[in-house]
Structure 1
Amino acid sequence: MNTFLLIASFPDSLIRFRGALLRALVARNLNVHVAAPGLSGAQDVCEELEAIGVVPHEIRLNRTGMNPISDIGAVFDLWRLVRAIRPDYVLGYTIKPVIYGSMAAWLAGVPNRFALITGLGYAFTGEASGRRRLVRKLVQGLYRFGLSKACKVFFQNPDDEALFMEMDLMPANISSCVVNGSGVNIAEYSLAPLPDKPSFLLIARLLGDKGVREYAQAASLVKVKYPEVSFRLVGWIDGNPDAIGQSELDEWVSSGVIEFLGKLSDVRPAIADSTVYVLPSYREGTPRTVLEAMAMGRPIITTDAPGCRETVQNGYNGFLVPVQGVDALADAMVQFLDSPDLVTIMGRRSRKVAEWKYDVQLVNELMLVEMGIS
C-alpha cells in the first residue's frame, strides 16, 4: 500500500480545505498521514481525521515567523517524520510547508514531491518597502530553492503561475499545473434562500491585504444613504505583521459601521443570512470563502486582482472593483441595494459557476491525475 503525507501550517485547514482530498486519497487505498503544528491542541480535528482513516502528526513549525534557527529545526523535524513514515507522495501547501516540506522530502528520498501554492501572502502583496522588502527577498530565495526539489507545482490561478515563472522562482524543468482553487463541496454548501433584509458579508483573517479596511470604509459611505443595511465581518486577528489592530476593529464596531461575528467554525449560517458576499482582497490563490458563497447562491463583489478575478464574470455573477478602490466598492454595493433583483439573478448564476467550475470533486480529480494517483 502506497503512503501519502500532506503537510499544512494550520490544523483547521486540514478538514475545511483538504478534507475532500484526504477522503479521496483514503478511498484510493492509500495510507494517508497529515502533519501540522498545533495538532496536539486540536483534539476535535485529530478525531475527525482519524475517523476518516488519516493519521495526524504534530510538527514544530512557526507559521508566521522567520527565525532561521527555528526554521532549520522545522526542516529537521519534517525530515525525521518523513524518514519514519517513508511516504511515496508528499504534498505541502502554504509557504513553509511548501518550502520546508519539499526540502525534507527531497533529503529523505521521497520519489513524488508536490507543492500547492494557495496564495502569495504578506511577502508578495503591498509595497515592497522596509521589513516587507527584506521578507520578500528572503521568501523568494527560499521558494527558489524549495521548489527546485519538487516534482510538480500546483497553482490556484494563472497569474501566480506566470509570476513565479517571470521571477524565476521555479526551474524550467519543474512542471506546473493550474487548478480551480481548493474547490467547494456543492452538496455541503447548498443553495440558501435570501434573507428579507439586505446585508453584506466579508469572511477573512483580519489583515490589511484582505481589504478589510476598504470594506469598513465603503460600508461607512453606503450607510449614509442606507443606514439600515448591515455590514457583517467574520474572522479573527492574526499574528501576521499586516494584521488589523484590536482598537481599529473596536472603533468600527462601536461606530455602528461593522457588525463583528468573530471566528466561526461553520460559516454557512452567516452566508445564508447575507444577500451579497464581499472580498476586497489585494491578491489570493483562489478565495475559498467566495466559492462557498457562490455555491450558496450569493452574488460576489471582489477585486480585479489575481485569484479573485477568476471567480467573477463582471456583470454576470457579481462585480469586479479595483484593488483599494473604496468608492468603486461602495458603488457596487449600492447597485445591489438600488436594484434588488440583481441579487437573485446574479446569485443563481454564482451557483451555476460553482457547479461547473469549482466542484471540489472535479478539482481533486485533476490533482490526483497530475500526481499519478489513479
Structure 2
Amino acid sequence: MKSKKILYLVNADWAFIVNRLPIAIEALKHGYDVHIACAFTGREDELRSYGFTLHEVPFTRSGLNPFVEMATVANVFRLIRFLKPDLIHAVTIKPVIYGGIVSRALRVPAFVAAISGLGFVFTSDTMKASILRRFAKLAYKFALSGKNIKVIFQNTFDRNTIQAAAKIKDNNIVMIKGSGADLDEYSVSTPPVGTPVVAMACRLLKEKGVFEYVEAANKLREKGIDCKFQLIGSPDYGNPHSITDDQLKQWQHEGVVELLGHRTDIATLFSNANIIVLPSYYGEGLPKVLIEAAACGRPVVTTDNPGCAEAVVNNVTGIIVPARDVDALSDAIELLINDEILRTQMGREGRLFAEKMFDIKAVVQVHLSVYKQLLLNVEVHV
C-alpha cells in the first residue's frame, strides 16, 4: 500500500525544528511520507538527516510586498500541484492562508491549519494593523472553509477571533496548548543557591517585552535588590520590530543584563535560573519558553497577553502582570526574589501543570489522531 504523503508548510526550517519536529518524526515512524516546505536558513541538512524530503519556499515572515507574496503563492501552488499530498499541515499565518487557498483550488484531500499566534495584525491598534486585519479576516475565511479540515488553536483568544472571522464549525476546531515539551529533557532539578538568577529567553523583538524586562532589571538594581538578570536570544533581522545590534551593545555596556545570545541549551540555562520571565505583548499562540520553564520546575512572571496567561496558573505556577507595566513586572520579580519558599512552591506546581498539560508525547499523539481522522474521512467519501 502506498504511503500517505504529508506536506508541512512552515515559515522557516529553524521554526519547524523548534516547534514541530517530534510530530514529523513520529509521522515517519507511522509510515507517512513526510515532506517539508519552508524557507532555508541553514538547518535544512539537519532536517534531511531524519529522512524528510525538503522543498524550498521563500516565505517572508513580515514582508508585505504584493509581488513577492504573489510569487510565494505561485511557488506553493506549483509545489502542491506537483507533490499531490494527501494531507497538508500548515503552520503560522502565511503558510496557513496561502496553503489553505491553494489546497482548496487544487482539492487537496485533507488540510490542517495550526494557528500559533495572530501576530501584530490582530494585537496592534495602529491604522496599518487595522487595515491589514480586514484583509486577513477575509483571507482566513476563504483559506479555512475547506470540507475536510481541522484548525488547531493554542489559546481561546485566537480561537474565538478566527472562528468568528472565518465562520469555522466547532467540530473542525482542535485545542492543543502549545507545541509541548520533552519532560525528560526539561526535567526538575534543585534550584541554584546564592544570588537569584532571573532569565528571559525569546526572539529579541520589542513586542516580546525586552525593553520592559531591561527596565525592570534597572529598577531592581537601583533599589539594591541582589539578583542577576540574563537575556537569552538573538535579534530577528527579518522582522522590522527586532532589537538592534546598537541597542544590544548599549545594554552590554551598561551591564544590567547579561547577554547570552542564541543558545540551544535552554533546559540547562533554565535549570541554572531561579525565575523565568516573559513580559510579552506579542500575538503569541502559547509561548514554548513558558512551557519549558514549567517543565523545569521554575516559577514564571508573564503578562495577561493572550497565550501567555494560558500557560500559567496565576499565583500558583507563576505571576501574571499587565502587559507593558514595568512597575508591576519589577514588583512581581522582586516578590519572587525575596521569597524562596514561594519560588519553590510555584516551581513544584509548575512541573505538575506541565505533566498534565504540556507533555510532548501527548501533543504528538493528538496530532497523529487528527491526521488519521482526516485521512479516514477521505477514504469514506471516495
Whole-Å Cα distance in 2 between the matches of residues 123 and 240 of structure 1?
Answer: 14
Please report how far the alpha carbon of residue 133 of structure 1 lies from its aligned counterpart in structure 2 after TM superposition.
Answer: 3.0
Whole-Å Cα distance in 2 between the matches of residues 111 and 62 of structure 1?
Answer: 27
Note the residue ranges of structure 2 that are not aligned, 5 or more in a row.
Answer: 377-382
Please report how far the alpha carbon of residue 62 of structure 1 lies from its aligned counterpart in structure 2 after TM superposition.
Answer: 1.7
Please report how far the alpha carbon of residue 29 of structure 1 lies from its aligned counterpart in structure 2 after TM superposition.
Answer: 0.8
Whole-Å Cα distance in 1 between the matches of residues 167 and 10 of structure 2?
Answer: 21
* Deviation larger for 335-344 or 85-94: 335-344
Whole-Å Cα distance in 1 between the matches of residues 35 and 177 of structure 2?
Answer: 24
Match of 1:13 among 11, 15, 18: 15
Give 1:252-271 correspondences, 5 Å limit: 252-271=251-270
Q: Which residue of 1 aligns with 2:92?
A: 94
Whole-Å Cα distance in 2 between the matches of residues 172 and 293 of structure 1?
Answer: 34
> How high is the TM-score relative to the length of structure 2?
0.91
Name the SS for the 1:306 alignment partner: coil
* Deviation larger for 203-212 or 2-11: 203-212
Q: Which residue of 2 aligns with 1:182?
A: 179
Please report how far the alpha carbon of residue 136 of structure 1 lies from its aligned counterpart in structure 2 after TM superposition.
Answer: 3.0
Contact 2:278 2:303 in 1 (8 A): yes
Residue deviations 1:18-41, cap 9 Å, x none?
A: 111011211211111111011xx5
Please report how far the alpha carbon of residue 170 of structure 1 lies from its aligned counterpart in structure 2 after TM superposition.
Answer: 4.0
Please report how far the alpha carbon of residue 92 of structure 1 lies from its aligned counterpart in structure 2 after TM superposition.
Answer: 0.6
Whole-Å Cα distance in 2 between the matches of residues 241 and 148 of structure 1?
Answer: 32
Q: Which residue of 1 aligns with 2:140?
A: 143
Whole-Å Cα distance in 1 between the matches of residues 139 and 57 of structure 2?
Answer: 20
Whole-Å Cα distance in 1 between the matches of residues 269 and 262 of structure 2?
Answer: 11
* Deviation larger for 217-226 or 138-147: 138-147
Q: Which residue of 1 aligns with 2:47?
A: 49
Give 1:26-175 correspondences, 5 Å limit: 26-38=28-40, 41-42=41-42, 45-129=43-127, 131-149=128-146, 151-166=149-164, 168-172=165-169, 175=172
Contact 1:117 1:155 in 2 (8 A): yes
Residue deviations 1:64-96, cap 9 Å, x none?
A: 101111111111111211122211110111111
Contact 1:231 1:259 in 2 (8 A): yes
Name the SS for the 2:121 alignment partner: coil
Give 1:281-292 correspondences, 5 Å limit: 281-282=280-281, 283-292=283-292
Q: Which residue of 1 aligns with 2:379?
A: none
Residue deviations 1:302-340, cap 9 Å, x none?
A: 112211111211111111111112111111111111111
Whole-Å Cα distance in 2 between the matches of residues 174 and 242 of structure 1?
Answer: 37
> How high is the TM-score relative to the length of structure 1?
0.92
Contact 2:137 2:162 in 1 (8 A): no
- RMSD between superposed Cα atoms in Å: 1.9
Whole-Å Cα distance in 2 between the matches of residues 28 and 55 of structure 1?
Answer: 16
Contact 1:76 1:104 in 2 (8 A): no
Q: Are residues 174 and 344 of structure 1, via their aligned partners in 2, closer, same or farther at CA, if it must alter by over 3 Å?
A: closer
Q: Which residue of 2 aligns with 1:327?
A: 327
Identity %: 35
Please report how far the alpha carbon of residue 172 of structure 1 lies from its aligned counterpart in structure 2 after TM superposition.
Answer: 4.5
Equivalent AA in structure 2 for residue 356 of structure 1: K
Please report how far the alpha carbon of residue 174 of structure 1 lies from its aligned counterpart in structure 2 after TM superposition.
Answer: 7.7
Equivalent AA in structure 2 for residue 60 of structure 1: P
Q: Which residue of 2 aligns with 1:363?
A: 363
Name the SS for the 1:182 alignment partner: coil
Q: Which residue of 1 aligns with 2:380?
A: none
Match of 1:218 among 211, 216, 220: 216
Equivalent AA in structure 1 for residue 15 of structure 2: S
